[in-house]
Amino acid sequence: MDAIRIRGGKKLSGTIHVSGAKNAALPILCATLLSDGESLLRNVPALRDIETTSALLRFLGRSVSSSPPTVKVDAGSQVRPEAPYELVKQMRASVMVLGPLLARFGRAKVSLPGGCQIGSRPVDQHLKGLEKLGATIKLERGYIIASAPRLRGDEVVFDMPTVTGTENLMMAAALAKGRTRLVNAAREPEIEELARVLNKMGASVTGAGTDVMEIEGRDELAPFDHAIVADRIEAGTYMVAAAAAGGDVLLENAPLEDMESTCAALKTMGVEIGREGTAARIRRTGPIKPIRLTTEPHPGFPTDMQAQLMVLATLAEGTSTIKETIFENRFMHVPELARMGADIEAEGNHAIVRGPSRLQGAQVMATDLRASASLVIAGLVAEGETEVLRVYHLDRGYEHMERKLAAVGADTERIKGTGG
Ligand code: EPZ
């Protein structure tokens, strides 16, 4: 497994290009199952999760030619509506083929995704919603066995906002008979992006981005050509990197309109963020200030930015508090940051971060996607050398992170295949 080696202490300056959004591309790739013909996705990031989803679509019978930033998906001659454990276990978001397969082919056998490092990650809301649209669902030997001659529109009320749960139901409803109303729907920008694609395909989705959505189902949908929106979490991650290391970085096509809570938190901590056309300029010249932060569903502060912001808090002059309300175990970066000298006390879903700490370089272990990013950021400011092991976690959601950072002056390099 590869590692990334960082020698800390360099300020960042220059331009970073923000890639297409992983969490928009994944549901949109699943939406290609809803129609025949060839769909074209542009501005797709070169990530492991994209490769995994392409492999799953091929397994289902689609022909996929994936050369990021372009991915073409064509309906094959036959379909095998089964998503096996060996593919689903690599990426939980694979469960998003369930809605499209059920709506289009009337049956689906999809492995239960199981938990991951950050939590148990149940899919009960997905299943309850599909049953409300008329599906018969059984759980057998770790698989979801679903069937429905034809889904029919109805009202689905989610117990909590779930991003992929909302996306699964949007795709199922787009081919259901009649109108579906999703209440307590997730409001993330990726939901609005999927709605734009479903509307291009011929469905009628209104209310995306609010907590109530209405979807007029169709008998048939058309393939689409769509350029994926920029990744707000990747952009936020590089904003934190620039703030932590100091310097002056221009983020090309940063989706600032989707990043209000992230920008507000960074400005509270003394980071300057200015819009320059479609780019954002990030500077941090003064001291970093502490923050009281709680993660929330969009438009609140995103859980996917929590680990990154915690690194910045270790450098702040004062005490910060961070509350993680979305996942039950999303502080795995804490013990690794503590090994680098951070002063963090985590109790349940609360963390108290006392700063400023002088971080020292160390060998650290990546665990989940965003925790890995926070360890790289810590390495940028630590004294000496940091080696982040098991960066396959990072490669799931960040396109060549070490190259993008090196291009703005960081001393980062990828070490091929070092155990660990
Ligand atoms: C999506 O995961 C994202 N993944 C996650 O990003 C992100 O952290 C998460 O939303 C929250 O914003 C993709 O979009 C592919 P949820 P998802 O369903 O949909 C509970 C990353 O780093 N819940 O919105 O799986 C759940 O346990 C990844 O890119 C149920 O109880 O998250 C959690 O507490 C990590 N039952 C809360 O809802 C369900 O059926 C929100 O989870 C579904 C969810």
Query: At 61, is the secondary structure helix, strand, or coil?
Result: coil
Q: Give the distance (Å) from ligand 1 centre to CA of residue 303.
A: 9
Q: Check residue 114 and give its pLDDT.
A: 76
Query: At 128, is the secondary structure helix, strand, or coil?
Result: helix
Domains 3-19+230-415 and 22-227 share a fold: yes
Residue of minimum CA distance from atom 13 in ligand 1 = 23
Rounded CA gap, 25 and 311, in Å?
28
Q: Give the distance (Å) from ligand 1 centre to CA of residue 341.
A: 31
Identify the weakest region by mean pLDDT among 4-8, 106-110, 117-121, 324-328. 117-121
Topology (CATH) of 22-227 = UDP-n-acetylglucosamine1-carboxyvinyl-transferase; Chain (3.65.10)
Residue of minimum CA distance from atom 6 in ligand 1 = 304
Q: Check residue 393 and give its pLDDT.
A: 92
What CATH number is given for 3-19+230-415 in this structure?
Answer: 3.65.10.10
Give me the helix-helix angle, 189-200 and 22-31, nearest 10°: 30
pLDDT per residue as tens digits for the range 179-197: 999 999 999 999 999 999 9
Q: Check residue 120 and give its pLDDT.
A: 80
Rounded CA gap, 323 and 264, in Å?
17
Residues within a 6 A CB radius of ligand 1: 23, 26, 93, 119, 121-126, 160, 162-165, 186, 303-304, 326-327, 369-370, 397
Q: What tokens does 299 get?
A: 């438009």
Query: At 419, is the secondary structure helix, strand, or coil?
Result: coil
Residue 116 falls in the annotated catalytic set: yes
pLDDT per residue as tens digits for the range 41-99: 999 999 999 999 999 999 999 999 999 899 999 998 889 999 999 999 999 999 999 99
Q: Give the distance (Å) from ligand 1 centre to CA of residue 163.
A: 6
Residue 420 has pLDDT above 70, yes or no: no
Band (pLDDT 50/70/90 cuts) for residue 118 is confident
- Using the atom order of ligand 1, give the atom closest to the CA of residue 303: 8
- Using the atom order of ligand 1, give the atom closest to the CA of residue 188: 12
Four-residue CA torsion sign, 339, 342, 343, 347: negative
Q: What tokens does 87 get?
A: 């593919």
Which of 164, 298, 306, 398 gets mutated to test ligand 1 (max ligand atoms within 8 A of its CB)? 164
pLDDT per residue as tens digits for the range 273-296: 999 999 999 999 899 999 999 999
Cis peptide before 69 (omega within 30 of 0): yes
**Closest by Cα among 71, 415, 11, 45 to 233:** 45
DSSP string computed for 155-176: EEE-SS--HHHHHHHHHHHTTS
For residue 388, the Cα-to-chain-centroid distance in whole angstroms is 21
Rounded CA gap, 267 and 254, in Å?
16
Q: Check residue 419 and give its pLDDT.
A: 56
Query: At 215, is the secondary structure helix, strand, or coil?
Result: strand
Rounded CA gap, 131 and 316, in Å?
49
- Using the atom order of ligand 1, give the atom closest to the CA of residue 167: 19
Residue of minimum CA distance from atom 5 in ligand 1 = 304
Angle at 252 between CA 308 and CA 390, to 5 degrees: 40
What is the average per-residue pLDDT within 115-136?
92
Q: Give the distance (Å) from ligand 1 centre to CA of residue 313.
A: 24
**Closest by Cα among 394, 326, 398, 361 to 162:** 326
Give exposure, 271-287, as e/b (b: 16+ Cβ within 10 Å): bebeeeeebbbbbbeee
- Using the atom order of ligand 1, give the atom closest to the CA of residue 302: 12
Catalytic residue, from 1, 40, 79, 116: name it: 116
DSSP string computed for 278-307: TEEEEEE-SPPPP-EEEB-STTSB-GGGHH
Residue of minimum CA distance from atom 8 in ligand 1 = 304
Q: Give the distance (Å) from ligand 1 centre to CA of residue 413.
A: 31
Q: Check residue 78 and give its pLDDT.
A: 87
Angle at 77 between CA 72 and CA 80, to 5 degrees: 90
Angle at 121 between CA 118 and CA 123, to 5 degrees: 170
Band (pLDDT 50/70/90 cuts) for residue 170 is very high
Residue 413 has pLDDT above 90, yes or no: yes
Return the domain boundaries, the chain. 3-19+230-415, 22-227
- Using the atom order of ligand 1, give the atom closest to the CA of residue 128: 40
